[in-house]
Structure 1
Amino acid sequence: MPTYSTKLNLPKPLGNENFTRAKYNELIDAIDAKAGATSGLAQLGADGKVPPTQLPTLASTATDITVTDTANYYTSTNVEGALSELGQTLNGTRANLVATAQALGVM
């Protein structure tokens, strides 16, 4: 009885067993069965890219993204404004870290 790969559950030849044409065909059939299947392998289109139908749905605009500000750090009511405020906060934190590192002589 063959063992199977952990990621795609494809058959693997046993120990020192010769990799016969039948085993090769069994492996190819197993790969083909996984191609294009849910949680399987994505197939490539004629352009060499994964077709959009095999990609997960992603947020396409900022209006599709929700920012939860449970600590009320931000004053903006929209995503773009909150991200801008977050960027300013991170930039200020970076400046403080650089100044501290320079004062300690580690930078």
Structure 2
Amino acid sequence: MTDIVLIIVLCAAATYLTRIGGHLIMLRFGEVHHRVEAALGAVPIAILTALVAPSMLTGGVPGVAALIATGVAALRVSLVISVAVGLAVLVVLRAAGL
């Protein structure tokens, strides 16, 4: 059990250091170019796409339906809620055996 706690603490520390490191590096540069700011703003969507695209190709009907539901929800609500909608659709369709 102590190994699991150690792994969790080390992963939390690595995550914290990675996140705070990015902020500290950006503080050293002062004001960033508008293109860099736009590129950094696109990173979360790019990562989400990289995670979702393979499941769309291999997920069958539930994966495609969840992707469509997420896309439609993203047009109306926040990103977190739209991901929750897609996840709910995926879980329900997989539980139904599709």
Query: TM class, shorter-chain normalised?
Result: under 0.3
Higher relative contact order (CA 8 A, sep 6+): 2
Q: Structure 2 length as normaliser, TM-score?
A: 0.26
Higher helix share: 2
Q: Structure 1 length as normaliser, TM-score?
A: 0.25
